[in-house]
């Protein structure tokens, strides 16, 4: 194995991609308490955020509606227990799991946000990232707003509350607020007697509707519906605001764009979403199988086994195996009890953060040529260690295949793809990357294959091409300036 370059030595040892959040809302028209259902829904969405979790519930039967909420840092089952959930009475509620791509990782930034204002109380959960949050925050601050958090979700909540003073209904206020915000958002909001869902006009982040008995649910993924025994009704359309009351579902599609302008995040299908979910009519599992098949067609290699890096690499590895005829064999054991909140080993420690999460089955790889499928390479640090682990377990060759194209640009819409200088593909050729990670060969998914992963849907390819569906910000929510990157993108795209 070749020596690791100084590029790896100077970067963070953690190389995972992270999603912004998962949301879950429910309104039970029979008056049953919903806190435990929200808990299990969030448990199913845990993969979308592992920094914090929260639930807010209220009873629509009470004359003076009061929201009861609890949130904290950690996994869902660390934040909640029976003693906390049982006193949370109410037939309407929202829940949230978070990974921060904007705003610091603190309890104050955990969601749902609960806002008391002159028209009542709102509880809001948000998945996504706004690109004009700083601008809107400054406007609100100049008019007297006092912020309790550093997240863009609070900007949305303030605008909804302000618009509610000028509109006839809370759903109208949500629609008017959404006209002011730019970027990616899937929202679940509870007002005193309504459950509201809203999705940005591009459809960056998923949002769907389900039904269980006489209760309706709005959530990020269909896997959460399955977990709580609900049936899928439909996806919330990009640009749609849906309102659920005992009278049924009403819809406002006035913000919807032509389908050709929609831009769903392709990484929902490659990595973020759970494999058993369907998003906008497309099976995540089938998308990953297709990616593996395309890799086998476009970058074939002779080998003895194909294996995937859990979890998102497994289905793509199976697709590669089915197309190539090379046997699929699980070669990694994943510690499922390790979340993103675990205490990472210090660099001086002998424990590897990668090996805490994964271990190699020596019996599966010893003496064999291995094709290893993973979903992405961001900085290259994790890939380097996994290839090394396979070699130390006795693999004679390691051929790495990636079920996405190389990252060349940052993401502004809720995925923590960093600035270009931190992306290994930005200033390294594929051959350079192969040497850096120590693989025998390296192949990425071809760019023109991306649209085939989600047939019939327009997708965002900004992190691969620099061509974003909307003008990217000059300043992100953390105050980092990207003028140079934007100018470079414009020059390369002209």
Tens of pLDDT, residues 41-85:
999 999 999 899 999 999 999 888 889 999 999 999 999 999 999
Q: 21: closest CA among 124, 118, 171?
A: 124
Tens of pLDDT, residues 377-421:
998 888 999 999 999 999 999 999 999 999 999 999 977 777 888
Q: 41: closest CA among 57, 58, 26, 21?
A: 26
C-alpha to C-alpha distances, 453 to 118, 220, 344, 384, 465, nearest whole angstrom: 47, 20, 34, 27, 17
Instruction: Say if 442 falls within a structural domain.
Output: yes
CA–centroid distance for 474 within its chain: 23
- Given a contact cutoff of 8 angstroms between Cβ atoms, the answer to whether 238 and 202 are in contact is yes
- Given a contact cutoff of 8 angstroms between Cβ atoms, the answer to whether 282 and 457 are in contact is yes
C-alpha to C-alpha distances, 216 to 93, 102, 330, nearest whole angstrom: 11, 30, 39
Q: Tell me how crowded residue 347 is: count the other CB atoms within 10 A of its CB.
A: 8
Tens of pLDDT, residues 353-384:
677 788 999 999 999 999 999 999 998 888 99
Q: 260: which 2 tokens? A: 């050709």
Instruction: Say if 423 falls within a structural domain.
Output: yes
Instruction: Say if 263 falls within a structural domain.
Output: no
Q: Is the pLDDT of residue 164 over 90?
A: yes
Q: 363: closest CA among 299, 305, 308?
A: 305
| Total tally of structural domains belonging to the chain | 2
Do 462 and 386 share a structural domain?
A: yes
Do 297 and 206 share a structural domain?
A: no
Instruction: Say if 11 falls within a structural domain.
Output: no
CATH number for the domain that contains residue 127 = 3.60.20.10
C-alpha to C-alpha distances, 134 to 20, 174, 199, 348, nearest whole angstrom: 18, 20, 21, 38
Tens of pLDDT, residues 256-313:
999 999 999 999 999 999 999 999 999 999 999 999 999 999 999 999 999 999 988 9
Do 312 and 213 share a structural domain?
A: no
Do 434 and 468 share a structural domain?
A: yes
- Catalytic amino acids? 21
Asked which of 120-134, 147-161, 192-206 is least confident by mean pLDDT, the reply is: 147-161
State which of 226, 258, 290 marks the end of a domain: 258
Do 130 and 70 share a structural domain?
A: yes
State which of 258, 288, 303 marks the end of a domain: 258
Instruction: Say if 222 falls within a structural domain.
Output: yes
Do 482 and 432 share a structural domain?
A: yes
Do 201 and 303 share a structural domain?
A: no
Does a cis peptide bond (omega within 30 degrees of 0) precede residue 311?
yes
The mean pLDDT value of the chain amounts to 88
pLDDT at 494: 47
State which of 258, 288, 319 marks the end of a domain: 258
Do 471 and 345 share a structural domain?
A: yes
CATH number for the domain that contains residue 412 = 3.40.50.2020
Per DSSP, the residues of 38-104 read HHHHHHHTGGG--SEEEEEEE-TTSSS---EEEEEES-HHHH--HHHHTT---SEEEEEEE--SSS-
Instruction: Say if 8 falls within a structural domain.
Output: no
Instruction: Say if 10 falls within a structural domain.
Output: no
Do 249 and 143 share a structural domain?
A: yes
Tens of pLDDT, residues 315-347:
999 999 999 999 999 999 988 765 544 445 555
Do 316 and 241 share a structural domain?
A: no
Do 27 and 158 share a structural domain?
A: yes
pLDDT at 482: 40
Q: 169: which 2 tokens? A: 């209904």
Domain that holds residue 55: 21-258
Do 162 and 281 share a structural domain?
A: no
Instruction: Say if 270 falls within a structural domain.
Output: no
């Amino acid at each position: 194995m070749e020596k690791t370059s100084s590029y790896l030595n100077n970067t963070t040892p953690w190389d995972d991609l992270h999603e912004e959040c998962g949301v879950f809302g429910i309104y039970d028209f029979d008056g049953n308490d919903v806190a435990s259902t929200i808990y299990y829904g969030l448990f199913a969405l845990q993969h979308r955020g592992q920094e914090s979790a929260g639930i807010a519930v209220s009873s629509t039967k009470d004359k003076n509606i009061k929201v009861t909420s609890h949130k904290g840092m950690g996994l869902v089952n660390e934040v909640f227990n029976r003693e906390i959930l049982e006193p949370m009475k109410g037939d309407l509620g929202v829940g949230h799991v978070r990974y921060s791509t904007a705003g610091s990782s603190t309890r104050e930034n955990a969601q749902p946000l609960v806002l008391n204002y002159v028209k009542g109380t709102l509880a809001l959960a948000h998945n996504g990232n706004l690109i004009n949050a700083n601008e809107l925050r400054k406007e609100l601050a100049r008019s007297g707003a006092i912020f309790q958090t550093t997240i863009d979700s609070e900007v949305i909540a303030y605008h909804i509350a302000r618009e509610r003073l000028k509109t006839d209904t809370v759903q109208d206020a949500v629609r008017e607020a959404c006209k002011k915000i730019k970027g990616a958002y899937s929202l679940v909001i509870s007002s005193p007697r309504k459950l509201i869902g809203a999705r940005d006009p591009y459809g960056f982040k998923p949002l769907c509707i389900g039904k269980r008995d006489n209760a309706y649910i709005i959530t990020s993924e269909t896997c959460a519906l399955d977990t709580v025994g609900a049936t899928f009704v439909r996806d919330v359309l990009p640009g749609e605001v849906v309102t659920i009351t005992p009278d049924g579902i009403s819809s406002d599609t006035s913000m919807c764009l032509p389908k050709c302008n929609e831009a769903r995040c392709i990484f929902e299908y490659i990595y973020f979403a759970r494999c058993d979910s369907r998003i906008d009519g497309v099976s995540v599992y089938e998308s990953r199988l297709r990616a593996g098949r395309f890799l086998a067609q476009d970058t074939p290699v002779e080998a003895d086994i194909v294996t995937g890096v859990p979890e998102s690499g497994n289905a793509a590895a199976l697709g590669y195996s089915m197309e190539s005829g090379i046997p699929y064999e699980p070669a990694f054991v994943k510690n499922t009890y390790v979340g993103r909140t675990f205490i990472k080993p210090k660099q001086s420690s002998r424990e590897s953060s990668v090996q805490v999460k994964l271990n190699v089955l020596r019996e599966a790889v010893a003496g064999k040529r291995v094709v290893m499928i993973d979903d992405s390479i961001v900085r290259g640090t994790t890939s380097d260690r996994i290839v090394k682990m396979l070699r130390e377990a006795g693999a004679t060759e390691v051929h790495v295949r990636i079920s996405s194209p190389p990252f060349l640009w940052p993401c502004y819409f809720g995925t923590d793809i960093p600035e270009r200088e931190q992306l290994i593909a930005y200033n390294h050729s594929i051959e350079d990357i192969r040497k850096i990670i120590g693989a025998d060969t390296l192949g990425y998914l071809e760019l023109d294959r991306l649209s085939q992963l989600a047939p019939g849907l327009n997708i965002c390819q900004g992190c691969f091409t620099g061509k974003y569906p909307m003008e990217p910000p000059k300043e992100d929510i953390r105050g980092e300036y990207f003028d140079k990157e934007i100018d470079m993108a414009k020059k390369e795209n002209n």
